[in-house]
Amino acid sequence: PCQGAAGRPAILYALLSPSVRAV
Amino acid sequence: AEPFSGGPGVPELILQLLQLEPDEDQVRARIVGCLQDPAKGRPDQPAPFGLLCRMADQTFISIVDWARRCMVFKELEVADQMTLLQNCWSELLVFDHIYRQIQHGKEGSILLVTGQEVELTTVAAQAGSLLHGLVLRAQELVLQLHALQLDRQEFVCLKFLILFSLDVKFLNNHSLVKDAQEKANAALLDYTLCHYPHCGDKFQQLLLCLVEVRALSMQAKEYLYHKHLGNEMPRNNLLIEMLQAKQT
Q: Of B76, B100, B95, whose CA–CA distance to B176 is shortest?
A: B76
Q: Which residues in chain A have their CB less than 8 angstroms from residue B240's CB? A: 1
Q: Which residues in chain A have their CB less than 8 angstroms from residue B244's CB? A: 1, 9
Segment B83-99 mean pLDDT: 97
Cβ-nearest to B241 among A2, A6, A17:
A2
pLDDT band at A22 (very low <50, low <70, confident <90, very high): very low
Cβ-nearest to A15 among B64, B79, B245:
B64
Supply φ then ψ for residue B150, to 5 degrees: -55, 125
Segment B82-96 mean pLDDT: 97
Q: Is B62 exposed, middle or buried (0-12, 13-18, 19+ CB in 10 A)?
A: middle
B31: CB partners within 8 A, 6+ apart: B55, B58, B59, B62, B113, B114
Give yes or no for a contact between B216 and B138, defined as CB atoms under 8 angstroms apart: yes
Share of chain B above pLDDT 90, in %: 80
Q: What DSSP string runs through B120-157?
A: HHHHHHHS-HHHHHHHHHHHHHHHHHHHTT--HHHHHH
**Angstroms from A23 CA to nearest CA on chain B:** 17
Rounded to whole angstroms, how far apart are CA atoms B156 and B76? 20
Beta strands in B56-196 (DSSP E): 109-111, 117-119
Q: Is the pLDDT of residue B58 over 50?
A: yes
B143: CB partners within 8 A, 6+ apart: B107
pLDDT band at A9 (very low <50, low <70, confident <90, very high): confident
B201: CB partners within 8 A, 6+ apart: none
Of A7 and B217, the one with more pLDDT: B217
Rounded to whole angstroms, how far apart are CA atoms B240 and B225? 8
Q: What pLDDT does residue B48 have?
A: 81
Neighbours of B135 (CB within 10 A): 17
pLDDT band at B8 (very low <50, low <70, confident <90, very high): confident
Q: What SS3 state is found at B109?
A: strand
Q: Decide if A12 and B242 are in contact by the 8 Å CB cutoff.
A: yes
Of B51 and B154, the one with more pLDDT: B154
pLDDT band at B44 (very low <50, low <70, confident <90, very high): very low
Q: For residue B199, what is the enclosing H or E element? A: none
Q: Is the pLDDT of residue B246 over 70?
A: no
Tens-digit pLDDT profile for residues B108-130: 999 999 999 999 999 999 889 99
Q: What pLDDT does residue B47 have?
A: 53
A20–chain B Cβ distance below 8 A for any pair: no
Q: Which residues in chain B have their CB less than 8 angstroms from residue A17's CB? A: 78
A13–chain B Cβ distance below 8 A for any pair: yes
pLDDT band at B55 (very low <50, low <70, confident <90, very high): very high
